[in-house]
Amino acid sequence: MSKTEVGRKAPKLVLPSTGGERFSLAAAKGSNVVIYFYPRDNTSGCTREAEDFRDLHGAFRKANTVVVGISPDGLESHHKFKAKFKLPFALLSDEDKAGCELFDVIREKSMYGRKFMGVERSTFLVDAEGQLRREWRKVKVDGHAAQVLEAVKSL
């Protein structure tokens, strides 16, 4: 059984953050949280997704929502990515993929005919009470952040 199930309590996520401390989903209780998993810093799709969440960040904040991005990249890479694209939200480092496993986002992928295990672009919406309310898997970047914002507004 997956550790994530819409309508149930979200898994206990604690990861190192560009904010200088460890981000804890439990500590964010009282705010909605958008958790988006992406494969890698500084790739075209991941950059566009981060920019879309950045551009809508003010609207997410008005809706009492914290946005965090998670990839297996280290904090040094995240700090550079965050600075380069002026991202106003924390990026969490999941080098051992423990968070990815909690949310079941490691999937078989294929590139240039080669199969490998990697992060499937996925987003999760956790409400202010810590319940998983929505999930998006196999995310296509275009329009995704706006879809997530609409879901937040419907809570």
CA–CA dist 153, 155 (Å, integer): 6
| Residues recognised as catalytic | 46
Q: Which amino acid is at 42?
A: N
| Helices and strands, number each (H, E), in the chain | 5, 9
**Count of CB atoms within 10 A of residue 140's CB?**
11
**Count of CB atoms within 10 A of residue 148's CB?**
24
Identify the three-state secondary structure at position 19. coil
